[in-house]
Amino acid sequence: MSRVLIPFPDLQPLALEVGSRLQARVAPVGWRRFPDGESLLTLDARLNAVDVVLVAGLRNVDSVALALRFVAETARDLGARSVGLVAPYLPYMRQDTRFHPGEAISAPIFARFLEQSVDWLVTVDPHLHRNPRLDGLFSIPTRHVAAAAAMAAWVQANVPDAILIGPDSESAQWVGDIAARAQVPFQVLAKIREGDRSVRVSLPDPVAARGRTPVVVDDIVSSGHTMIETLKHLATLGLPPATCLVTHAVFSEDAYERLLAAGARRVVSTDTIPHPACNAIAMAPALAVACEALLAGRTPSLAAP
Ligand code: R5P
């Protein structure tokens, strides 16, 4: 078999499903921590002339990045002809400018780190804001898998009377796409700045939302602040409790519990970041299709002449 899938520990079910769809041999990586905290990575040595697909959850990227680099370099060292990466959640994309003097602009630096490690990249809905396209950030082949079709199917099956609500103008791109596919209406909250430290959000047309079930859609929930402010506002309008629908369930600290405490009817996410309660939308099928496209081009290894 000329394809080998190497799953990192934290995304096993998704990785195994991608591996099965790619008809790849699955070769788990041994990862041992020495008492001093350094890692020893051990790969299946039978990688000569194969196409390697790494599948890694990068939710806790600072603790995984170096291991990822070690594994990619070692695969190449063992003879792999190409090494690709499936990172369903691409971190550091929100730090795409210098918000305060002296800050690192992490997005392009992290992109360079990845492209120095692997030959191609597949990810789900990266947070593209000031860098509007993935291929403007990366010089290696990339595929941006959109979660919109799978999220729309979930809405149609579970909340057919939904009105989708985007918490800010940035969300308009994916909320509008999901709403069109699910054939339900949508609105995007307007932000009204009342002072340096005070922002009020408002639903543009509350009357049109009456009689429908609100579903708040965002690409990332991290602290939960954006969703919680939205939930609070919808409650003041007398709308029924909203479902929160999110692509990447980053959930810093107790964000998930705070969403429920703020009145969310339910929190639903894709499985790009594992979460025991809210992963309801599987991305492996779409990820496997994207990998097939890149493997068909059989990108040569970085080490090849
Ligand atoms: C912002 O640009 C993103 O689309 C999300 O709205 C944001 O990252 C959510 O962050 P938090 O949950 O910390 O408010």
At residue 200, the pLDDT reads 72
The owner of tokens 């990862």 is 31
For 170-224, what is each residue's pLDDT tens digit?
899 889 999 999 999 999 998 776 666 666 788 999 999 999 999 999 999 999 9
At residue 74, the pLDDT reads 98
pLDDT at 304 over 50: no
Ligand 1 pocket, 250 CB below 6 A?
no
Ligand 1, atom nearest to 94 Cα = 2
Average pLDDT over residues 245-255: 96
State which of 219, 254, 259 you would mutate to test the pocket of ligand 1, scoring each by most atoms of that ligand within 8 A of its C-beta: 219
Distance CA 24, CA 3 (A): 5
Measured in angstroms, how far is the CA atom of residue 261 from the centroid of ligand 1? 18
Q: Supply angle C-alpha 116, 252, 288, rounded to 5.
A: 45
Measured in angstroms, how far is the CA atom of residue 26 from the centroid of ligand 1? 35
pLDDT-derived band at 260, boundaries 50, 70, 90: very high
- Nearest Cα residue to atom 2 of ligand 1: 170
At residue 305, the pLDDT reads 32
Measured in angstroms, how far is the CA atom of residue 134 from the centroid of ligand 1? 19
At residue 301, the pLDDT reads 43
- Nearest Cα residue to atom 7 of ligand 1: 220
State the sign of the Cα–Cα–Cα–Cα dihedral 287, 128, 175, 266.
positive
At residue 256, the pLDDT reads 97
State which of 222, 250, 273 you would mutate to test the pocket of ligand 1, scoring each by most atoms of that ligand within 8 A of its C-beta: 222
DSSP state of 76: H
User: How does strand 51-55 pair with strand 3-7?
Assistant: parallel
Pair 217, 174: CB distance under 8 Å: yes
For 267-297, what is each residue's pLDDT tens digit?
999 999 999 999 999 999 999 999 999 998 7
Characterise 3 by phi-psi region: left (phi > 0), alpha (psi -120 to 50), beta (else): beta
For 195-206, what is each residue's pLDDT tens digit?
666 667 889 999
Indicate the SS3 state at residue 234: helix
